[in-house]
A and B are shown apart, each in its own frame.
Chain A
Amino acid sequence: MIRRTLLATAALGMALAFGGVASAQALDKAKACFVYVGPIGDGGWTYQHHQGALAVKEAYGDKVEIAWQESVPEGADAERVLTQMALSGCNIIFTTSFGYMDPTNTVAAKFPNVKFEHATGFKRDHANVATYDARFYEGRAVIGHIAGKMTKSNKIGYIGSFPIPEVIQGINSYFLHAKKVNPAVEISVVWAYTWFDPAKEADAAKALIEQGVDVIAAHTDSTAPLAEAAKTPGVIGFGQASDMAAYKPSPRVASIIDNWAPYYVKRVGLLLDGTWEQAASWEGMPGGEVEIGEITEAVPADVKAEAEAMIAAITAGTYHPFTGPINKQDGSAWLKDGEVADDGTLAGMMFYVEGIKGDIPK
């Protein structure tokens, strides 16, 4: 107990002594640390973050040292890991899951000269906390279009992780664009309450397939839903977070790829230059953070061409996936004709759009 207090005091003392000076100065060497919610080998979310980390190392060579910890539970454990990282000399720490939001801000208060970057969150309580996110819903719009065109049973499925805005944006965008090309389409949403549990993700996909769903999108981290879809002919799905190329050409007919490398390289660069500042970044297809993987030959050529046209329009900034008229689930108007959703509403989105059945769990 005493030793721990001593350590913390020492750390605080150092922070006070050097904090003011260090934050505005360029660094010769930096240590960039990454906290992952799953194993790097998940083939999805965490794998992509790690690719970003490796890109940082590649870009700066000897000037940057990288370190990471995998499978860190969201919650109290995260706080311990973050404190440990800050004490061990990390200059910038990327926390790569929504559930690290509070631990990140708590630890950031204790280490003002360490930079913290929290993925997919919205809390920036201290000057040394930045947040970053990607507009996954742009990718969801494209695969929603494909789903609406490809489904034969008119039942499409979505495996959600947790009911948080990031996931709900995806469900809404996916459904809106499926409905646009196929008015008869219905969506079933299953909440897995986990980011990573292959057996449960596979079970969720199985439950959907048994109930007649033939297009499955997932917002969890492993390739298990695709592995399950592969067992039933005629069922298709999409790579999530990573390309998941092993399941080409079917069931994986397209994929949403998160590309964190440009952002990580940029932020670590700013840190080295001494010009790092708090920011709330939310890039998408135009910035290259969200990409659509190869659309395979299992998709008819005309559907593929339409999907590619949508990708081009979103990338060029001429099309926003949430463009009115859009009603909320209860039928009340949300966006007027031609109106585009503002980022604030999207970031806090906790409602379904019209046509989705069921409630968002509290």
Chain B
Amino acid sequence: MDLSAINPAVLFASLIVAATPILLAGLGELVVEKAGVLNLGVEGMMIVGAICGFAVAVGTGSPFLGFVAGAVGGALLSLIFAVLTQYLLANQVATGLALTLFGLGFSALIGQGYVGIKPPPVSALTFGPLSDIPLLGTILLRHDAMVYLALLAVPGLWWAINRTRMGLILRAVGENHDAAHALGYKVVHIRLAAIVFGGAMAGLGGAYLSLIRVPLWTEGMTAGAGWIALALVVFASWKPGRLLLGAWLFGGITVLQLNLQAAGARVPVEYLSMSPYVITIVVLVVMSARGGRAAGAPAALGRSFHATH
């Protein structure tokens, strides 16, 4: 065993990259759930974002347009969910699951001509001499633009949710839609916007996977990342800051165990792989043991709203 082969700075840098797709998707789902909607279709929206982004980036040669297309693809898919659950009052859990299944199949259909193709490369941003600062430069200053966008989105969303009027309305809708409705807010419209935002973020996360992190297209390439993003939101108890920590933990465990293996360490892979989920359960238990509002979930989460008066 030779642990000196592992460079902590490089390890942390790859951890940040590995966490970016689930961070993006998790942030989107956090906003959706803050509005009181449970969308289990994250996996489906991610993979549709992955193929839309991939197809457009290959077609136009521009990764930027690819990311835009990924976001649009995810958002369009989430619109189906929005119409079904907000206007037709379909069950959110069942609709979300259906969205995932539909997304997986639909992406496979679009992606048939894209297997084995290489997308246009995305270069990392350069900060000149700053990128050469020992440790900090390696960890933080040699990434692509999407990593910074995802990282900036964390304080951005925190601010938007907790410090703006828009965020207050969003939370009001998520906590008590009847009261929000009585105050004159358009509950359905606000939820629709939140769902579309969540879809776009999931699509971005998917496009990051197919354009930068892997980068290729194969069917089913998200391989459960969407479900991890969902677990993340619960783990983070609906707080953006904790979501970042969770994303690093969830993404980091995989990177860490693979690095340990490559260095020849004897690692109990099974225990490491399940540890994020065990921690999620522990977090849930601790939160509910504190009593009061169970686990910090928005009070109207998963409940349909229909204006009767």
**Given A71-B220, A200-B254, A359-B266, A207 and B215 contact (CB-CB distance below 8 Å):** no
Find out whether the CB atom of B116 lies under 8 angstroms from the CB atom of A39: no
Total A-B contacts with CB atoms under 8 angstroms apart: 117
Is there contact, CB below 8 Å, between A42 and B259? no
B220 touches A223 (CB 8 A): no
Q: Mark A227-268, 1 if CB is under 8 A from B, else 0.
A: 110100000000000001111000000000000000000000
**Given A223-B216, A359-B266: A189 and B116 interface contact (C-beta under 8 Å):** no
> Are the CB atoms of A358 and B223 closer together than 8 Å?
no
User: Is B179 an interface residue, CB under 8 A from the partner?
Assistant: no
Max count, chain A CB within 10 A of own CB: residue among B118, B221, B258: B258
**What 0/1 readout, one digit per residue, does chain A (168-198) give for beta carbons within 8 Å of chain B?**
0000000000000000000011111110111
Contact across chains for B118 and A227 when beta carbons are under 8 A apart: yes
Indicate if the CB atoms of B6 and A211 lie closer than 8 Å: yes
**Which residues on the B side are within 8 Å of A193 (C-beta)?**
269, 273
Residues of B within 8 A of A198 (CB): 214, 216, 218, 221, 223
Contact of A212 among B5, B222, B223, B255 (CB under 8 A): B5
Q: How many residues of B contact A (CB 8 A)?
A: 39
Considering the chains assembled together, what is the distance between the CA atoms of A157 and B259 in angstroms? Answer: 12
**A246 in contact with B262 (CB, 8 Å):** no
Residue of B whose beta carbon sits closest to that of A202: B214
Complex contacts, B7 vs chain A, CB 8 Å:
210
A246 touches B118 (CB 8 A): yes
A210 to chain B, nearest CB (A): 5
CB closest residue in chain B, given A38: B220
**Contact between B261 and A39, CB atoms less than 8 A apart:** no
Nearest-neighbour CB distance to chain A for B37, whole angstroms, equals 27
CA distance A41 to B220 in the complex (A): 9
Q: Choose from A189, A210, A227 the contact partner of B14 (Cβ within 8 Å).
A: A210
Assuming the contacts A41-B108, A207-B261, asked whether A199 and B273 have C-beta atoms less than 8 A apart, the reply is: no
Report whether B216 and A196 are in contact in the complex, using a CB–CB cutoff of 8 Å. no
B88 sits at the interface (CB 8 A): no
Least distance between A44 CB and chain B CB atoms (Å) = 9
> Of A189, A193, A211, which is in contact with the most chain B CB atoms at under 10 Å from its CB?
A211
**A189 cross-chain contacts in B, Cβ below 8 A:** 261
Interface string of A321-362 (1 = CB under 8 A from B): 000000000000000000000000000000000000111010
A157 with B18, Cβ < 8 A, contacts A193-B273, A361-B269 known:
no
Q: Which residues of B contact A (CB under 8 A)?
A: 5-7, 10-11, 14, 18, 21, 108, 111-112, 115-118, 209, 213-216, 218-225, 254-255, 258-259, 261-264, 266, 269, 273
